[in-house]
Amino acid sequence: MTSPINWICALGACITLSAHAAPVQCIAPAKPGGGMAVTCKLIQQGLQTQEPTAAKISYLPGGIGAVAWNSIVTQRRAEADTLVAFSGGSLMNLAQGKYGRADVNDVRWVAAVGVDYGMVAVRNDSPYKTLRELMEALRKNPANVTIGAAGTVGSQDWLKISMLAKYSKIDPKTLRFVALEGGGEAFTALRAGHVQLVSGDASEATLHAVDGEIRVLAVLSDKRLPGTLANVPTAREQGIDISWPVVRGVYMGPQVSDDDYQRWVRTFDKMMASQEFNHLRAANGLYPMTMSGDQLTKYIRKTVEDYRKQSDQLGLIR
């Protein structure tokens, strides 16, 4: 779709301004340093390879995505150039009713730009060198290990470490969790010694492990991940058969016009088909997964329904 043209005349001269003169906005619904920020950064870099389109990243933390969601569905419903990052954790919150009466159909799902994977990390001076050593310590005295996780009971970070514990015959109810606002805050708490373990995502660990202060004990993927975390063993390699993929992408307001929505779907399809985007995605610690428009919307609906069933079985939906 050709962008509308706004005419401004002043002092007898007329100039034209594209509708994209103002930067596109990518909202990260968490504090800086986490997976939502990684998503927006990737999109910002990717869009610059296109027309080019300037993209601004803004942060709107609160309620593990609830504040940003409510802002879009109540106050910013028709903003044609505002994208909001989402993850598998957002879908889990939707499934469990943590966004209130929110429904999958309240927004327009634009694109999934990649997939992330769960991981567990400690400080480099931690006594735990392997996932097995950590699980053994949790089995002996779970009160000695404080776990930083984005979100409260039932969040995907809570579920990851709970599943690892359950597989290791540890009652998840005995674990000590500290609920934090996103992966960036969790890693800040870990560095400061306020928590001894972080349950988070590989892309977050890629950001924080480069200076050698963080030790990633395991990634929750089917096989080892390339790049910064290439030497980190999977949980399966260490005898715990758990995998946790995390989709990452963007949505927009429910009253964005069909023309603008399809324009963005086409923009993402073109961007994600390029080899340059593949390199950018890898550099940001994400892995191949591309989906957009109707196909993504169907995937989201099914995923949220699956999460709802899992959560109900675990007694997480009241």
Per-residue pLDDT reduced to its tens digit, 117-130: 999 999 999 999 99
Task: Please state the φ and ψ torsions of residue 82, each to the nearest 5 degrees.
Answer: -115, 120
DSSP the chain: -PPPEEEEEETTEEEEEETTSSPEEEEESS-TTSHHHHHHHHHHHHHHTSS---EEEEE--SGGGHHHHHHHHHT-TT-TTEEEEEEHHHHHHHHTTTTTT--GGGSEEEEEEEEEEEEEEEETT-S--SHHHHHHHHHH-GGG-EEEEESSTTSHHHHHHHHHHHHTT--GGGSEEEEESSHHHHHHHHHTTS-SEEEEEHHHHHHHSTTSSEEEEEEESSSPPSGGGTTSPBTGGGT-----EEEEEEEE-TTS-HHHHHHHHHHHHHHHTSHHHHHHHHHTT-B---EEHHHHHHHHHHHHHHHHHHHHHTT---
pLDDT at 22 (0 to 100)? 62
Rounded-to-integer distance, Cα 285 and Cα 229, Å:
9
Task: Please state the φ and ψ torsions of residue 23, each to the nearest 5 degrees.
Answer: -65, 145
Rounded-to-integer distance, Cα 92 and Cα 189, Å:
24
At 29-62, the pLDDT tens digits run 998 988 899 999 999 999 998 877 789 999 999 8
pLDDT at 4 (0 to 100)? 38
pTM score over 0.85: no
pLDDT at 317 (0 to 100)? 67
- Mean pLDDT per block of 10 residues along the chain (318 residues) reads 37 38 86 91 93 88 91 96 95 90 96 96 96 96 92 83 92 91 88 95 86 94 92 96 94 98 97 96 92 97 91 72
pLDDT at 33 (0 to 100)? 84
Domains of the chain listed by start with CATH number: 5-116+245-313 (3.40.190.150), 117-238 (3.40.190.10)
Task: Report whether 241 contacts 265 (CB < 8 A).
Answer: no
